[in-house]
Every structure is written in C-alpha cells, then in structure tokens.
Amino acid sequence: MASGVVVDYGVVKAYMDIRLDHGGEVQCDRHKLLMLRLSNKSIIVDEENSLKMKDVADVDDVFSKLVSMFPRNDCRYALYDCCYRTDQTEREDLVFIIWLPYEAPMRKKMLYAGSKSVLRDTLTGLTIEWQVDDPIDANDSSVLIEKLGNRGIIKELEGKQL
C-alpha cells in the first residue's frame, strides 16, 4: 500500500457498474465520467463532479464537457467511458485519467502520483492511461486520440468527426 491510501468499496462498486454493459433504461444512468478523489487516506467517488450518460445526452461537445469537470488547482483520478469510431467499428474503452495540474499543491500531486498504483491494482483490467499535467493539453483531444490508437485510425470521438 503506497502512501497508506486505500480504495473505498464505493469505488470498486462504481467501477464494476461502469464496466458492465447495461441495456434499456439503465443505460442513461451509467457513468460517463466517474471522478475519484482522496479523502482521509481513502480514494472515494466524487459524485458531485461525476457525469452520467444522461448528463451528456444533449451536449454537442462531450469531450469538452468532461474536461471542464476537472478542478483547475486540485488533483483527481477519473474513469472515462470513451466512445469512438474507427474505419472498421465503433468502440468503447475505459480510460484511466490521472489529473495532476501544475496549479495543484506539490504535496497533493505527490500523494496522488504515489497512490496511483493502489488504485490500478484494485481496478484490474485498465489498459488505457492518460496523465494530464497541464489543463491546456486536455482541451486538445489529440493526446487522448494517440492513446486510443492514432489520428489515422480514429475517425470520430464522442460523435464528433476528427
């Protein structure tokens, strides 16, 4: 256990829910962005800053909406249910985001960076990781697109042509 931080059971439950493909009415209640934060040496779900599918149903630029949920001067972890299209298929992948903006206190950035492995070990199966240090970089989806494949393969991100 790096840094003595533990993962709250609510995070594990929410992770299992976001990974399962529910059909019907439940689809709109699935998380699109599951925001996680540290609280008293525990990683917990930050419901106030998380988004469900229904929260972005009528949003023109889903990616920008997601980025706007991150605090400019504080750290976070997030699980982003990313939808994109290639030439061959529509895909949905879970992206693990580590948000460590320059404006956040150094001690907090170190705690989040040091506790990342605890979260990764608990939430098995995460394959795509995106660390954001500068919020300006997050406004351009090209870094994420490179993580998902690359610009030549990916044709659409969250319903927007590239």
Supply the pLDDT for residue 21.
61
Cβ(79)–Cβ(99) below 8 Å: no
CA distances from 143 to 76, 90, 140, 151 (A): 18, 19, 7, 10
Supply the pLDDT for residue 11.
96
Residue 3: strand, helix, or coil: helix
Residues 47-78: tens digit of each pLDDT: 999 998 888 888 888 888 888 899 989 999 99
Please tell me the distance from the alpha carbon of residue 49 to that of residue 33, in angstroms, as a whole number. 8
Residues 88-139: tens digit of each pLDDT: 888 888 999 999 999 999 999 999 999 999 999 999 988 899 999 887 777 7
pTM over 0.75? The answer is yes
Residues 35-46: tens digit of each pLDDT: 999 998 999 999
Residue 159 pLDDT exceeds 80: yes
Go through the domains of the chain in sequence order and give each one's CATH number.
Answer: 2-161 (3.40.20.10)
